[in-house]
Amino acid sequence: MRSDRSQSAPLGLKIAAACGLLFLHLPILLIFVYAFTTEEKSFVWPPPGLTTQWFAVTWNRPDVWQALSLSVRVAAISTTIALVLGTLCAAAVSRTKFFGRETISLLVILPIALPGIITGIALRSAFALADIPFSFWTIVLGHATFCVVVVYNNAVARFRRTSGSMIEASMDLGADGFQTFRHVVLPNIATALLAGGMLAFALSFDEVIVTTFTAGQQQTVPIWMLEELIRPRQRPVTNVVAMVVVLVTLLPILFAYYLTRDGDQIAGSGK
C-alpha cells in the first residue's frame, strides 16, 4: 500500500483544481441552455424564454443531415485506415529496436505536432500540383493521416505494458506467429485499439482546419458550423446542432474510457 493514500490535499490545491475543472466544463453546459432559448437574434443572457421548437426546425433541415452523413462516412473510413497503419507502426516500433526507429515515431507524431493549417495547405497544394479534384477521398486522405497518431499512441502504450515474455511463452507452447497474434497479442491490445479507434473517429468527426483545405464545396458538420459562425443564418439551429454534437461526441469518449479502464486490469499484463 502506498503511504500517501490517507493524506488529504491542501485547501489551496483543492480550490485551484476545482476552479480549473469548472473552467473546463461550464462553457459546454452553457450550450445546453442556449439550445432552448426563444431569442433568435442575439446571445442575450439570461434567455428571455425557453422553447423546444428549434429541435423540430433543425430536424427538418436537409443541409444538416447531409453534413452529418458526410462526416460519419469520412470518419468511419479514416478510422479504419488509421487503425491498420497505426497498429502496424506501433507493433514494429515497440517490438524491436532498429535504425531509424526514433525517426518513425517522429514521422507519426508530425501531422499533429505541426499546425493543422500546414497539413491542410500542403495537401491542397499537392492536390493542385497533381491535378486531383476535391472529392470524398481527398477529405479521407487528410483525416487518415492525422488519425494514425491517436491509434499509434494507444497501441504503443499497450504494447509497452504487454510483456514480451507472454509472446515468447506462447511460441514456446507451440503456437505459430499467427496463432500468437490471434490468441495472445490481439486480446491484449484489442481494447486499446478500440479506444484508439473511437478517439480517431471523434478526432475526424470534429476536424475542421485540414478539412477546409481538402473538402472543396462539400460540407462536413464542422464546416457547416464554421459557416454558421462566420455568417450566421439561423442562430437557434446552430445552438441545437452544437448541443447535439456535444452529446454525440460524448458517447464514444465515455465508451473508450470504459474500455481502456478495463484493459488496465488484464491479468498478467505486467508493468
Report whether 39 contacts 48 (CB < 8 A). yes
Closer CB to another protein, 2 or 52, in the complex = 2
| DSSP letter for each residue of 13-29 | HHHHHHHHHHHHHHHHH
Mapped onto helix, strand or coil, the DSSP state of residue 37 is: strand
36 binds another protein (CB under 8 A): no
Closer CB to another protein, 57 or 126, in the complex = 126
Which amino acid would we find at residue 99? F
106 binds another protein (CB under 8 A): yes
**Which of these segments, 59-67, 99-107, 161-169, 183-191, binds another protein (CB under 8 A)?**
99-107
Could you tell me where the beta strands, DSSP code E, fall in the chain?
none
Report whether 170 contacts 179 (CB < 8 A). yes
Closer CB to another protein, 145 or 191, in the complex = 145
169 binds another protein (CB under 8 A): no
Closer CB to another protein, 153 or 162, in the complex = 153
**Nearest approach, Cβ of 185 to another protein (angstroms)?**
12
N-to-C CA span, the chain: 17
Mapped onto helix, strand or coil, the DSSP state of residue 10 is: coil
**Which of these segments, 17-25, 56-64, 161-169, 263-271, binds another protein (CB under 8 A)?**
17-25
Give the binding-site size for another protein (rule: CB under 8 A): 94
Residues present in the chain in total:
271
Which residue of 58, 78, 79, 119 would you call a contact of another protein, by CB under 8 A? Answer: 119
Q: Which residues contact 227 (CB under 8 A, 6 or more apart)?
A: 219
164: Cα separation from own chain's centroid: 29
**Which of these segments, 49-57, 61-69, 162-170, 172-180, binds another protein (CB under 8 A)?**
172-180
Which residue of 60, 96, 217, 265 would you call a contact of another protein, by CB under 8 A? Answer: 96
Distance CA 242, CA 158 (A): 34
Distance CA 243, CA 248 (A): 9
Considering only residues 49 to 88 of the shown chain, the ones binding another protein according to CB under 8 A are 81, 84-86, 88
**Which of these segments, 61-69, 72-80, 101-109, 184-192, binds another protein (CB under 8 A)?**
101-109
208 binds another protein (CB under 8 A): yes
Distance CA 235, CA 195 (A): 34
Distance CA 68, CA 222 (A): 9
Distance CA 75, CA 111 (A): 17
Closer CB to another protein, 73 or 228, in the complex = 228
Closer CB to another protein, 59 or 168, in the complex = 168
Closer CB to another protein, 63 or 176, in the complex = 176
**Nearest approach, Cβ of 194 to another protein (angstroms)?**
15
200 binds another protein (CB under 8 A): no
